[in-house]
Amino acid sequence: MAATRLCLSLLLLSTCVALLLQPLLGAQGAPLEPVYPGDNATPEQMAQYAADLRRYINMLTRPRPRPMCPGQDGAYRQI
């Protein structure tokens, strides 16, 4: 009885910790926009910013699969 209660308590505690830490680890949605290094940045910093910005734009504009919906004949068709 005590072992079951301990296991349930640990399960509840670990679930709460996992839910609380989820926002801290970062959202897996849209990537963060790169920070502009400023007008006095070195050429290397500007090159890194340009590469990060290009990667950011490519990530936002990449093609995604279209959702499928059932057709009238039972086959799936693209929306």
Strand blocks (E) in the chain: 68-70, 76-78
For residue 36, pLDDT beyond 50: yes
| pLDDT class of 28 with cuts at 50, 70, 90 | low
Q: In the prediction, which pLDDT does 23 show?
A: 57
Q: Provide the pLDDT for residue 16.
A: 73
Q: What is the pLDDT of residue 42?
A: 97
Residue 37 has pLDDT above 90, yes or no: yes
Q: State the Rg of the chain over Cα.
A: 24
Q: What is the pLDDT of residue 32?
A: 84
Task: Please give the average per-residue pLDDT across 53-62, as a whole number.
Answer: 90
Give the integer Cα–Cα distance in Å for 37 and 51. Answer: 13
